[in-house]
């Protein structure tokens, strides 16, 4: 039974019968009653005064009376001005609870056969993953899980920027200074090794640029003329010409990076269903340019370059094809979007998880697709997220202020280890179990920290103090789960059975029990909301509320000390439902929960 919906239906009936209105349940909304008033749900009557032609108080009374005498759900009500506060009966709560606890898939919908592609990560192959990638990956992965919960079939995709000047820089530096170093000979992770040469390139490049500037060249000139840069550009030219030696080196170094990335992704707990490589796609999209010209959407300048004028839409003119006939980034993106919808004709949405620095780019991209009259253009969505900054400002690879993903995850686990040992909580754990716990807790803290904030907002990461283990944190929620797990183990040992859906017991529900059941009934709609906003933060917030409310119950109400057997069984089942919801909710964030901690 869905309390929320039943109530809205009955309120609609009340409005229609009492005031001759013509209102559907879907058009009504209920909100939780504020703490300082009694009740669970509040119906705001202000908007309906025109229909009732009465004062707010009278309108509330009439609806309240109607509900009290016609609804099994409403036990009582009170009216404060235009607010009708409804008190739900314990019986209704227990009924709602029973239907939740008996459904192990509560909150999740069965497959709907519809398909969505979520793209995330999109790394460059010239350096290791960093904190920004963590936010990106956790967001993309979580949004995938959230849509999966709604029944969608998800393709998790990664586009790997494996070609271009950046990787050529690493290649040049490796050739010059590498002495044949490999991940095997150096013992370094492949991505770290390639990153090392990227840094080496930049260092040498800066020196050369400075020297040229000192000798009188302008900065812009110097940046183009530095000898090592000329080598990188030449390397790129050779690569595009598929010159064998260069191509082989490129493949070798990229493969080192992929092996490194694989380790990092495994550690992060993210996976992909589909890999796209820029080296396969970078020439795509040129064909579309002709289509656009034919349709009159694009136009050609005298020098042969192709543009689109978006000034009527408040944007600028955008280049699509250089005068030498080569494609630019957006052309490539148009091409790959078309390709993906061709490959998966039933694709309903294509979600790009990319930082907000590319807001403009995606706005232009989607607008162009629309102007080209692709019916699926409206299904494209930019999941834009704010940058993660450090107390010292922006992360800059050149200045070495980048927080490395591997290092950060390791540090988090170290901190988890420290906390656990300080608290003396791992009696009876063997080494592997302990290590697994540190991993869960450390990563849980990190993921929760990055996901609990509205994606759109930029965030500050202070390595010293940002990640806590108390309060609104991953470990707090994991701890709540572990506590409940302990209860359930004990219940099993002592042979306490589960509460049956047709059971009742003497006495009233505890207020925290009502509050928690209320939250349990909200799970599905919160998943919906999270999906609609592409915001795992909605889920994070929800689980936190649930865990917090349950902890209040746990603190105040005894379970095994309860004399009434039916009530004891209820509380065990109740705790089970909370644990299950925590587990599946955290699963939507990509966070695991331990049975003991």
Partner RNA sequence: GGUCCUGUAGCUCAACUGGAUAGAGCAACAGCCUUCUAAGCUGUAGGUUCCAGGUUCGAAUCCUGGCUGGAUCACCA
Binders in 183-242 for RNA, by CB under 7 A: none
What is the smallest separation between the CB atom of 238 and RNA, expressed in angstroms?
Answer: 16
Q: Where do the H-state alpha helices sit in 127-242?
A: 131-149, 165-177, 183-186, 190-214, 219-225, 227-240
| Contact of 33 with 39, CB cutoff 8 Å | yes
**Residues 20-39, mask of contacts with RNA (x by CB under 7 A):** ---------x-xxxxxxx-x
List beta partners, residue 327: 321
Instruction: Report how far residue 143's alpha carbon sits from residue 135's, in angstroms, rounded to the nearest whole number.
Output: 12
Q: By CB under 7 A, how many residues form the interface with RNA? A: 97
**Which of 266, 273, 200 has its CA nearest to residue 406?**
266
Q: Determine which residue in the list 111, 287, 378, 458 makes contact with RNA, applying CB under 7 A.
A: 458
Is 556 among the residues that bind RNA (CB under 7 A)? Answer: yes
Residues between 85 and 124 with contacts to RNA, criterion CB under 7 A: 85, 124
Is 531 among the residues that bind RNA (CB under 7 A)? Answer: no
Residue 437 has, within 13 A of its CA and on its CB side, a CA count of 23
Is 289 among the residues that bind RNA (CB under 7 A)? Answer: no
Q: Please give the DSSP secondary-structure letter assigned to residue 500.
A: P
What is the smallest separation between the CB atom of 402 and RNA, expressed in angstroms?
Answer: 15
Q: Determine which residue in the list 323, 414, 433, 501 makes contact with RNA, applying CB under 7 A.
A: 323
Is 446 among the residues that bind RNA (CB under 7 A)? Answer: no
Residues between 398 and 437 with contacts to RNA, criterion CB under 7 A: 416, 419-420, 423, 425, 437
**Which of 519, 587, 514 has its CA nearest to residue 547?**
519
Window contacting RNA (CB under 7 A); options: 92-100, 183-191, 372-380, 452-460 = 452-460
Residues whose CB is less than 8 angstroms from the CB of residue 500 and which lie 6 or more positions away in sequence, other chains included: 569
Is 468 among the residues that bind RNA (CB under 7 A)? Answer: yes
Residues between 46 and 65 with contacts to RNA, criterion CB under 7 A: 46-47
Is 460 among the residues that bind RNA (CB under 7 A)? Answer: yes
Q: Where do the H-state alpha helices sit in 344-376?
A: 359-371
Instruction: Report how far residue 426's alpha carbon sits from residue 431's, in angstroms, rounded to the nearest whole number.
Output: 10
| Contact of 379 with 407, CB cutoff 8 Å | no
What is the smallest separation between the CB atom of 79 and RNA, expressed in angstroms?
Answer: 8
What is the smallest separation between the CB atom of 65 and RNA, expressed in angstroms?
Answer: 18
Q: Determine which residue in the list 441, 446, 520, 588 makes contact with RNA, applying CB under 7 A.
A: 441
Three-class DSSP category at 301: coil
**Closest CB to RNA among residues 8, 183:** 8
* Sequential DSSP letters for 525-569: HHHHHHHHHT-HHHHHHHHHHHHHHHHHHHHH--STT-S-HHHHH
**Residues 265-284, mask of contacts with RNA (x by CB under 7 A):** -------------x------
**Closest CB to RNA among residues 214, 303:** 303
**Closest CB to RNA among residues 115, 322:** 322
| Contact of 198 with 127, CB cutoff 8 Å | yes
**Closest CB to RNA among residues 155, 446:** 446
């Amino acid at each position: 039974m869905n309390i929320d919906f039943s109530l809205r239906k009955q309120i609609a009936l009340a409005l229609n019968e009492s005031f001759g209105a013509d209102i559907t349940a879907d058009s009504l909304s209920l909100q939780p009653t504020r703490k300082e008033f009694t009740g669970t749900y509040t119906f705001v009557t202000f908007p309906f005064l025109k229909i009732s032609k009465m004062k707010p108080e009278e309108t509330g009374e009439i609806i309240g009376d109607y509900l009290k005498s016609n609804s099994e759900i409403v036990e009582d009500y009170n009216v404060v001005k235009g607010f009708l506060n409804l008190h739900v009966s314990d019986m209704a709560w227990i009924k709602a609870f029973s239907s939740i606890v008996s459904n192990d898939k509560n909150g999740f919908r069965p497959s709907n056969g519809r398909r969505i592609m979520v793209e995330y990560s999109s790394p460059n192959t010239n350096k290791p993953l960093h904190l920004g990638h963590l936010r990106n990956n956790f967001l993309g992965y979580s949004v995938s899980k959230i849509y999966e919960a709604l029944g969608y079939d998800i393709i998790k995709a990664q586009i790997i920027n494996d070609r271009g000047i950046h990787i050529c820089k690493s290649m040049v530096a490796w050739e010059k200074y590498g002495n044949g170093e490999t991940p095997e000979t150096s013992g370094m992770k492949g991505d770290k090794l390639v990153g090392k040469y990227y840094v080496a390139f930049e260092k040498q490049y800066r020196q050369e640029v400075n020297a040229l500037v000192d000798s009188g060249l302008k900065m812009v000139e110097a940046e183009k003329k530095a000898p090592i840069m000329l080598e990188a550009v030449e390397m790129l030219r050779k690569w595009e010409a598929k010159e064998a030696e260069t191509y082989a080196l490129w493949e070798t170094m990229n493969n080192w990076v992929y092996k490194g990335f694989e380790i990092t992704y495994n550690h992060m707990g993210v996976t992909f269903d589909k890999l796209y490589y820029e080296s396969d796609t970078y020439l795509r999209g040129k064909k579309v340019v002709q289509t656009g010209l034919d349709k009159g959407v694009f136009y050609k300048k005298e020098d042969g370059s192709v543009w689109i004028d978006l000034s009527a839409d408040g944007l600028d003119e955008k280049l699509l094809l250089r005068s030498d006939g080569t494609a630019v980034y957006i052309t490539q993106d148009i091409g790959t979007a078309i390709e993906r919808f061709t490959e998966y004709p039933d694709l309903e949405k294509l979600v790009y998880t990319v930082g907000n620095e590319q807001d403009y780019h995606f706005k232009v991209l989607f607008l162009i697709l629309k102007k080209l009259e692709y019916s699926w253009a409206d299904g494209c969505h930019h999941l834009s997220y704010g940058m993660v900054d450090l107390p010292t400002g922006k992360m800059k690879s050149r200045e070495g202020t980048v927080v490395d993903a591997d290092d950060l995850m390791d540090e988090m686990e170290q901190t988890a280890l420290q906390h656990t040992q300080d608290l003396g909580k791992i009696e009876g754990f063997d080494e592997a179990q302990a290590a697994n716990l540190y991993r869960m807790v450390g990563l849980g803290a990190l993921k929760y920290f990055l996901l609990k904030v509205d994606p759109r907002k930029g965030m500050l990461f202070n390595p010293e103090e940002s990640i806590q283990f108390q309060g609104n944190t991953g470990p707090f929620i994991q701890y709540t789960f572990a506590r409940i797990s302990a209860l359930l183990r004990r219940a099993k040992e002592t042979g306490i059975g589960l509460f049956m859906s047709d059971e009742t017991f003497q006495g009233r529900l505890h207020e925290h029990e009502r509050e928690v059941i209320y939250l349990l009934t909200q799970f599905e709609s919160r998943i919906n909301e999270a999906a609609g906003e592409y915001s795992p933060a909605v889920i994070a917030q929800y689980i936190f509320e649930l865990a917090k409310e349950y902890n209040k119950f746990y603190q105040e109400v005894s379970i095994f000390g309860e004399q009434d057997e039916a009530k004891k069984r209820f509380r065990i089942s109740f705790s089970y439902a909370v644990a299950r919801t925590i587990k599946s909710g955290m699963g939507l964030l990509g966070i695991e929960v331990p049975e003991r901690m």
